[in-house]
Amino acid sequence: MPIVIGCDEAAFDLKEAIKAYLISLGQEVEDMGVYDKSPVLYPDIALKVATAVADGRFERGILICGTGLGMAITANKVPGVRAATCHDVYSAERSRKSNNCQILTMGARVVGVEVAKTVVRAWLASEFEGGGSTAKVQRMIEIDEMFHGKRDASQEGGSCSV
């Protein structure tokens, strides 16, 4: 399945470099913009990419802005989406293996192209491990649902016993 990618004007160059890198790995890529360095409201791009993932049109997405933070904050507001900002290989691996994140975000003002490529490579190669993380990710999904009308928040109590 193709990976969906998006960025704001601050990250246009890095998005182009990561797109080319993904293609060089044989990965199909759907580019949801931006397509030049004209200013954009980055939440609009995050919304497009996160919605495409939440709808099941794509299993995984990459969002890049200046810091990666605004993209992650926005993407995580879309029900069902787990987005994480990762600028190192360990976090990228854990975001998949432990957190089952579908969206990787990065900051073009934080990492250089070569580091970003190693992060993407590690993230692509990592899958959710399940095991002890299954109940924790399931709890995240339940909490998400409490705030999106699928579950009654007043009936929910947190539990630390895993």
User: Could you list the residues that contact ligand RB5 (CB under 6 A)?
Assistant: 8, 10, 42, 65-67, 69-70
Of 65, 86, 101, 160, catalytic? 65
Overall size of the chain counted in residues: 162
Order of strands across the sheet that contains 29-31? 29-31, 3-7, 61-65, 103-107, 83-85
Query: CB of 34: closest distance to ligand RB5 in angstroms?
Result: 11
CB closer to ligand RB5, 8 vs 144: 8
Query: CB of 110: closest distance to ligand RB5 in angstroms?
Result: 9
CB closer to ligand RB5, 23 vs 41: 41
65 is catalytic: yes
Helix runs in 30-112, H state only: 42-54, 69-75, 89-97
Alpha carbons 103 and 122: distance in angstroms, whole number: 13
Catalytic residues: 65
